[in-house]
Structure 1
Amino acid sequence: MNTTTAAVGQSAVNPGLIALLIAVSAVSPLGINMYLPSMPGMARALGVDFTTIQLTLSLYLGAMALGQLIIGPLSDSFGRRPVLLTGLLVFVVGSAICLLAQSIDILIFGRIIQATGGCAGITLSRAIVRDLYGRNQVASMIAYVTMGMAVAPMIAPTIGGLLETFFGWRASFAFLIGFGGIALVFAYWRLKETNHNRASGETTRNLLQGYGSLFCSRQFWGYTLVTSFVSAMFFAFLAGAPYVMVELLGRTPAEYGLYFAMVPCGYILGNFATGRIAGTMGPIPMILAGTLLSLASMAAMAVLIASGFMVPVALFGPMLFIGVANGLVLPSGIAGAVSVKPDLAGAAAGLSGSFQIGFGALVAPIVGAALSSTVWPLIVIMTICSLLAIVSLALVAGQRMPATGS
């Protein structure tokens, strides 16, 4: 680490930088959550069934997963700033395609373009934090960024539900064009390059060697898998909850958006706790606490539904605590993944993020196909993901974190 970066790593938090990272990180979550209340209405408007319209979510997640594999290493070679600015521009273009789409095929194409650009904000905000802060601060800093970022998915379904009610489903994509454009201008104006060790001449062979070293790391896989399975619980809920609320419970898109706000509220609480105590408690206890809380929350949801308490609070009450659990697990897991090999922070952020989102892309269509007249397929899938997260923790339990330093 050079002296400039080291100095930054020891200084107080820069509010302007944190605000910037929150803004660019929020772009893709807004793209995921903004239109969710409109999915049943979009299916009717475009003349397709819910399983087909659900592809706009699962393929979005799949494109995010693949995009991060490219964006992370590119930023290691060419710098965080140019890659981030390009990604935000691509997101705006994809949002415009979705706004103008007259068929499901064009809409899906626009969503893929959206996701490919939007994932730059999530991936590179993590790499930028690792560039600027020492290992002991990374989990806390990521927690503070994601705590602020969680406001986006908290308000997005509410805004999307209201926009759909008053202006139709296309209004959500108009909103995304505006937000993405503002984030692009903000990043162009305020972001300085943070990767001072980049080598623009890096070859494909070197890139593959970097990925190879990550693939051979048990610690990297432990942190990556536990965050991926915990995230898969959330994405499974995203895929199934609109159908359960609108079709099974007969609630409106606006009601779904209001209830959904409970989930990111929990996420904010979990991230706040991580930001306060991760530096002293350590990553493994934080992750263990979060995974056990997730499993207990799923047990509570199952008991409520089995007791005939089939109302929104039976779903969203336990999801509040699953949000807290995500806030405990994800910052420490991500910090662990990007700190295994600090010289490959961008590649590690991209690869771990790719699996994190990719698992969501896998479970989302499974949930969409399994749901019919009961909520139990959703509960079963989320519970399996919770159990697998606990099992994955065994890969890093008892192992030491990488040594402090750049």
Structure 2
Amino acid sequence: MLATLMIASAVSPLAINIFIPSMASIARDLLAEEAIVGLGLSLYLAATAFIQLLAGPLSDRYGRRPVIIGGMVLFMAGTVMCVLAEGVWLFLAGRVVQAASATGIALSRAIVRDVYERQRAAAMIGYVTMGLAVAPMIGPLIGGTIDTAFGWRMVFWLLAGIGALTLGLLFADLSETNPERGKPIREQFKNYGELFAAGAFWRYAFVSALISAVFFAFLGGAAFVAVNVLGMTPAGYGLWFALCAGGYILGNFLTAQLSEKLGIKTLMVAGSAISMSAALVSSGAIAFGWLAPLTVFGPMFFVGIGNGLATPTSTAGGVSVVPHAAGAAAGMLGALQIGMGALASFAASLVATRYGGPLGLFALMSAFGFGSLMVASSARRASTA
């Protein structure tokens, strides 16, 4: 099921990124302000966080398979709403419904934890989350190219086709992995109480959220720097952005190879340190006047490596603290990642455009990386730390 889970976990981040180059086109076509169309990103992120909180307990009650399939069906419905929208509000409603695909992110991790023990789960999550890297790598470039050639609605037709393919794979290939399903929803939500009381869970959760914030901050501010400061085209931005995604793929591959040998804490600390250091390198280069695509995007390769080391290991640790609540834990981890990412993206856009420019952007990223490093260093090596 590994390839199927990789694809299912990639649909949601692909839908986040692929429409970004089309926001101006959508605003013109739907006679709406660009700021209103921009809500298609922030509302999607907010809905993604909420859905992941809900998906965990539902999957603990009814099973992983029906919940992840149901989320993909809703994604298809939301995509059709966007394609058929003649006004901005139907389009935004479609974006919110599309966010149901986030069940693929949360539950793919829970499924891996159902099947594998803790250290091995970190390795397998490393493989699964490679899908999260491929999507942002190709999304903006594909979206911008299709919009230019065929219009923005064709971008959403492509998403519909990808959703249909994923749905077919889930029906054909995904088996039920939750052996303890069947408890009432009220009891399942009590799992959140156990997680809230577990200090170890919060250490893993904050490493996961803060290391993700480094990436989301770049996502929120780099477009302004690339287009308005460096004069890059959307296609050029997409090509340079592939460095970050390539690093993330490499980091996940290294996690899959090294997690059982080195342990979760070692890779969390190493990933946090690498991401923080890479952001500091960009800050230093910009402070000395070396502002160029290479100094903005080059270190992001190493930020990607750091994320690839720290994200799957912190996720595997988080879903292992309370094993019978793996679904709830996966949902909460995903919600914290996306929630922190939304805040980081918004803060970075303000910093990059108003308060600090490129130097302020990378200083903010360095701060998130430092926070992740401090929390990762405080974790113990024991599985219940």
Same fold per superposition (TM over 0.5): yes
The amino acid that maps onto 1:401 is: S
User: What secondary structure does 2:13 align onto?
Assistant: helix
Q: Deviations over 1:107-162 (max 9, x none)?
A: 322211111x1101011100110111112210001011112442222222221121
The reply to whether residue 376 of structure 1 matches residue 356 of structure 2 is: no
Q: Deviations over 1:18-71 (max 9, x none)?
A: 111111111111111212233455455556665544332222111111101100
Q: What TM-score do you get using the length of structure 1 for normalisation?
A: 0.89
The reply to whether residue 400 of structure 1 matches residue 382 of structure 2 is: yes
Once the two structures are overlaid, the 10-residue window that deviates more, 241-250 or 181-190, is 241-250
Residues 127 and 338, structure 1, Cα contact 8 Å, conserved in 2: yes
Residues 37 and 256, structure 1, Cα contact 8 Å, conserved in 2: no
The reply to whether residue 151 of structure 1 matches residue 134 of structure 2 is: yes
Q: Deviations over 1:212-249 (max 9, x none)?
A: 11001111000000110111111121222223222332
Residues 51 and 365, structure 1, Cα contact 8 Å, conserved in 2: no
Q: Deviations over 1:305-344 (max 9, x none)?
A: 2232322222111111100000000110000000001111
User: What secondary structure does 2:156 align onto?
Assistant: helix
In the TM superposition, what is the alpha-carbon distance from 1:210 to its structure 2 partner? 0.9
Q: What TM-score do you get using the length of structure 2 for normalisation?
A: 0.94
Q: Deviations over 1:319-378 (max 9, x none)?
A: 111000000001100000000011111001001111011101222222334432632342
Residue aligning to 1:177: 160
User: What secondary structure does 2:353 align onto?
Assistant: coil
The reply to whether residue 198 of structure 1 matches residue 187 of structure 2 is: no
Structure 1: which 5+ runs fail to align?
1-16
CA 1:41 to 1:316, structure 2 compared with 1: closer, same or farther past 3 Å? farther
The amino acid that maps onto 1:126 is: R
Residues 106-121 of structure 1: pairs in structure 2 closer than 5 A: 106-115=90-99, 117-121=100-104
User: In angstroms, what is the RMSD of aligned CA positions?
Assistant: 1.9
Residues 239 and 364, structure 1, Cα contact 8 Å, conserved in 2: yes
CA distance in 2, matches of 1:284, 1:260: 28
Residue aligning to 1:249: 230
CA distance in 2, matches of 1:285, 1:137: 15
Once the two structures are overlaid, the 10-residue window that deviates more, 259-268 or 28-37, is 28-37
The structure 2 residue matched to 1:236, chosen from 214, 217, 242, is 217
Residue aligning to 2:316: 335
Residue aligning to 2:297: 316
Residue aligning to 2:169: 186
CA 1:271 to 1:387, structure 2 compared with 1: closer, same or farther past 3 Å? same
Residue aligning to 1:259: 240
CA distance in 2, matches of 1:382, 1:76: 35
Residues 36 and 242, structure 1, Cα contact 8 Å, conserved in 2: no
Residues 72 and 350, structure 1, Cα contact 8 Å, conserved in 2: yes
The reply to whether residue 102 of structure 1 matches residue 86 of structure 2 is: yes
The reply to whether residue 285 of structure 1 matches residue 266 of structure 2 is: yes
The reply to whether residue 80 of structure 1 matches residue 93 of structure 2 is: no
Residues 57 and 239, structure 1, Cα contact 8 Å, conserved in 2: no
Residues 65 and 358, structure 1, Cα contact 8 Å, conserved in 2: yes
The reply to whether residue 297 of structure 1 matches residue 278 of structure 2 is: yes
Residue aligning to 1:25: 9
Structure 2: which 5+ runs fail to align?
none
